Structure 1
Amino acid sequence: MSRYDEEAKYDRPKRRTRPRTKDRPSYDDAAEGIVITRDRGRYTTWVGDTATGHEVTAMKARQLGRTGVIVGDRVKLDGNATGDDGTLARIVEVFPRTTLLRRSADDDDPVERPLVANADQLVIVVAVANPEPRTGLIDRFLVAAYDAGMRPLLCLTKTDLADPDPLLSIYRPLGVESVATHQGGDLSELREQLHDRTSVLVGHSGVGKSTLVNGVIPGADRATGIVNVVTGRGRHTSTNTVVLQLPDGGWLIDTPGIRSFGLAHVDPDRLINAFPDLAELTADCPRGCTHTGDAPDCALDEAIREGRADPARVDSFRRLLASREGRELRDAPEPT
């Protein structure tokens, strides 16, 4: 080999001289799908009608850059979207989201962690016993639902072990709807609440989410676990978020058990707007009012004195505010 050839061998490749173009593909004919689960950079999407569609495995296209893709996203797929074995499509576009359920790692972490997109109902699954209910975590789920613009629904499980009414009485002033279930019981009321909705199931480990999923979706085969008799905590049985089709219409999104839920991203003004009757009363609040119980000259206190506001409803709203602002101890059981 000559010296010239040896040096040329290590030369850097020359920069391409082809002029760049601003034209970008439109993907007008791209297939549209819903992301139903994610695993290590691969996305399983559902393409087509709810009943007759099929699954397509896809990866995120490079041109999306830092654009995040999460479960529930409606996307455009380029490439082979047949779903045949060995095929892989590309997610080239994410449609605007109608709702976004999110959380932060804790109350000091400003980084938002998107969980689920485009769901319209948050089903908060709570066991009335074994494990004992944690009202602080329930409050935080409610705050997240109101912040996301989602309808909250309390689903009480294991009602054969304890009376659910003491827990329900805490949330009646907020107007939160609820259903009560127990293992082997009738799930028709829950099915009615899920019908034709996109619902997200959240709750502490061991409250029975997987059992509910298996009850309303025959063949779902979600793994179920037991509660540790020493710690009172449930064992994680669902390890990833997955979207499942409901037999009578709608989608059910099962999430792993959650033991903490940071709310650093939530703006109190968005929370008060979830209660139009209270938001109207705060129009006379001084600038910067936090609407908490110790806020000076808060118009909510004046409305209570004048009989224009329900004290129990205001107290319940302020409890949600306190939940947003305070730190929840990880894994610590809440008093009932």
Structure 2
Amino acid sequence: MARRVHDYDEDDVRVRPGRRGSRPRTRRRPAHEGASPGLVTAVDRGRYRCLVDPGTGDERGVIAMRARELGRKGVVVGDRVALVGDVSGAPDTLARIVRVEPRTSSLRRTADDTDPFERIIVANADQLVIVTALASPEPRPRLIDRQLVAAYDAGMDPLLCLTKADLAAPDALVAEYAPLGVPYVVTRRGGGLDELRAHLSGRASVLVGHSGVGKSTLVNSLVPDAERTVSHVNVVTGRGRHTSSSAIALELPGADGWIIDTPGVRSFGLAHVDPENVINAFEDLAEGAAERCPPHCDHFQDDCGLNGWVAEGHASRARLDSLRRLLGARDSDTVE
């Protein structure tokens, strides 16, 4: 007689080999209350160099990996993290990053203006130092404009650092950016760096600039143990060679500050930038934009409210021209 469907015996049961216990899965994750605080200072092929207990006087460097529970969340230089595992810093030990603390700022860029995927370069910095040579190679104002836009978008204070003043005078470039009110320092070969060091003291500063502008030379002078490779400018193309292959955070000796050196870049995509973040950096114009501009105003159109705002003397024409130049840089497809 045929066996009924609900009559089972041991031949009907299949056991999956290697299957773990029947305890149901849970979305709860360990809280790791005892995790050690750390600062990510470098990233290299899936390994993270971290400083454990920064600012306590008992700092030590460790190598860590991302814990699986972080999922797709990225970890970048400047991130404040929580570490578990072996955080002794002894050779051949490995800790785990189990948590990335909320970021106060994120410096981002895209590969180009059509790339929908933004990349966070550095986290938790409060100053962007735009390093530009006055000669050899020549300044590239459109690239400077783009980097200023990235700083305003990230909520960071910009600082222009004009190098190689022994080769060319800074006056023309200083005048070009004077309406923006961006502070600047000028350096020359063999000159002192006291003014620059004063701007860096007590802050977390990111140094950006295209290859050959002298960024690595500055880093080596500010942090003698950094040993960043210095590039030479090609006399034919006027461009430098990439020498810094990844971002690295370095403690500024005797100044209670950090500098973060980044790889030299020849492009700075801004596809991710919200124009309102740029406008909000211009306090004298942001109020006029909010009160006078029509909805979805791109600030280039004839009925832009900022035209009347400036005509009434609330802000200068030079400031409006500079704002529009930065907004135009966001939509430009070249930085040359």
Whether the TM-score (by the shorter chain) exceeds 0.5 is yes
Matches within 5 A, 1:35-74: 35-50=40-55, 52-74=58-80
What displacement does 1:16 show?
A: 3.0
1:161 to 2:167 alignment: yes
Q: Distance in 2 between matches of 1:11 and 1:121?
A: 57
Q: Which runs of 5+ in 1 are unaligned?
A: 1-9
Using the TM superposition, name which of 107-116 and 12-21 deviates more.
12-21
Q: Distance in 1 between matches of 2:53 and 2:72?
A: 27
1:128 to 2:134 alignment: yes
Q: Is the Cα contact below 8 Å between 2:38 and 2:54 reproduced in 1?
A: no
* Alignment partner, residue 145 of structure 1: 151
* Alignment partner, residue 31 of structure 1: 36
* Alignment partner, residue 181 of structure 2: 175
1:261 to 2:247 alignment: no
Instruction: Give a deviation string over 1:6-59, Cα, whole Å, max 9, x none.
Output: xxxx96433531233454321111111010000010000011234541111000
1:288 to 2:293 alignment: no
SS in 1 for 2:142: helix
Q: Distance in 2 between matches of 1:55 and 1:133?
A: 38
Q: Is the Cα contact below 8 Å between 1:300 and 1:309 reproduced in 2?
A: no
Q: Is the Cα contact below 8 Å between 2:39 and 2:54 reproduced in 1?
A: no
Corresponding pairs, count: 319
Using the TM superposition, name which of 62-71 and 50-59 deviates more.
50-59
Matches within 5 A, 1:216-295: 216-247=222-253, 248-282=255-289, 283-292=291-300, 295=301
Using the TM superposition, name which of 271-280 and 150-159 deviates more.
271-280
SS in 1 for 2:268: coil
SS in 1 for 2:320: helix
Q: Distance in 1 between matches of 2:43 and 2:29?
A: 27
What displacement does 1:182 show?
A: 1.0
SS in 2 for 1:196: coil
Q: Is the Cα contact below 8 Å between 2:77 and 2:248 reproduced in 1?
A: yes
Q: Is the Cα contact below 8 Å between 2:284 and 2:314 reproduced in 1?
A: no
* Alignment partner, residue 4 of structure 1: none
C-alpha RMSD of matched pairs (Å): 1.4
What letter corresponds to residue 57 of structure 1 in structure 2?
Answer: I
What letter corresponds to residue 180 of structure 1 in structure 2?
Answer: V
Higher Rg: 2
Instruction: Give a deviation string over 1:269-322, Cα, whole Å, max 9, x none.
Output: 111111111010112111111112xx1211111122222220111101100000
Using structure 2 for the length normalisation, give the TM-score: 0.92
* Alignment partner, residue 325 of structure 1: 331
Using the TM superposition, name which of 13-22 and 23-32 deviates more.
13-22
Using structure 1 for the length normalisation, give the TM-score: 0.92
Q: Is the Cα contact below 8 Å between 1:35 and 1:70 reproduced in 2?
A: yes
What letter corresponds to residue 29 of structure 1 in structure 2?
Answer: G
What letter corresponds to residue 95 of structure 1 in structure 2?
Answer: E
Q: Distance in 2 between matches of 1:23 and 1:265?
A: 33
What letter corresponds to residue 152 of structure 2 in structure 1?
Answer: Y
Query: What is the identity percentage for the equivalent residue pairs of Structure 1 and Structure 2?
Result: 59
Q: Distance in 1 between matches of 2:189 and 2:86?
A: 43
